[in-house]
Chains A and B, each alone.
Chain A
Amino acid sequence: GNSVTQMEGPVTLSEEAFLTINCTYTATGYPSLFWYVQYPGEGLQLLLKATKADDKGSNKGFEATYRKETTSFHLEKGSVQVSDSAVYFCALSRLGNYGQNFVFGPGTRLSVLP
């Protein structure tokens, strides 16, 4: 079946440190891949996405590249800020019986210290 695996954390970094959150997936066909972020007290928000192999999604300094050969979609940021503290979810979407359905990873909690 379809599944998403990501490092569960928590991850604690100092401000301006480099961030990598690993994500790998198992899927039939060619899913789209996403990173969602949940800030404290808020709902999930789309951070970035990639719809085909070798696509790079980017937003707010975050990047992730769709690697079909390694079935990965690792999230990176060169210099994190305190405001990046949140829970990050890797996800894929697959075409189900009634449209696109999501499969999410367990989420990775990131804490950035000043």
Chain B
Amino acid sequence: SQTIHQWPATLVQPVGSPLSLECTVEGTSNPNLYWYRQAAGRGLQLLFYSVGIGQISSEVPQNLSASRPQDRQFILSSKKLLLSDSGFYLCVCDRGAHGYTFGSGTRLTVV
């Protein structure tokens, strides 16, 4: 079966500090992977999309970046966090005809 490991579950970081959120997928090969963010009081917003190693597409301009160093690894990063980066971050795997698998999410608070 397919699973997604996403960590950490919660994170408190000071403004200006770097960020690295990691997502790894098991049980599938060459998945399409997404990073979503839910800011307070808003729905989930698509941030990045990846169809394969080294292939990243960004839906909205922002202070964040993403990388796909391995087929089953998707990393969300920032060099300097802003207060507005606070939110709930979700890694999602597209299983094609089998639907989507979601990670458990990371709640980031920038202070």
Residues of A within 8 A of B (CB): 3-4, 8, 36, 38, 41-46, 89, 91, 96-107
Contacts and interface: CB of A to CB of B under 8 A. Distances in A.
Contacts of A104: 36, 38, 43-44
Nearest to A8: B41
A101 to B, nearest CB: 5
Interface of B: 4, 6, 32, 34, 36, 38, 41-44, 46, 49, 51, 57, 59, 90, 92, 94, 99-105
B84 to A, nearest CB: 17
B44 A102 contact: yes
Contacts of A43: 4, 6, 101-105
B102 A98 contact: no
Main secondary structure of the interface of A (DSSP, over half): strand
B44 A46 contact: no
A103 B57 CA distance: 17
Given A98-B49, A102-B46, 8 more contacts: A43-B104, A44-B102, A45-B102, A89-B44, A96-B59, A98-B51, A104-B43, A106-B43
A41 B104 CA distance: 7
Interface-central residue, B34, B36, B44, B59, by most chain A CB under 10 Å: B44
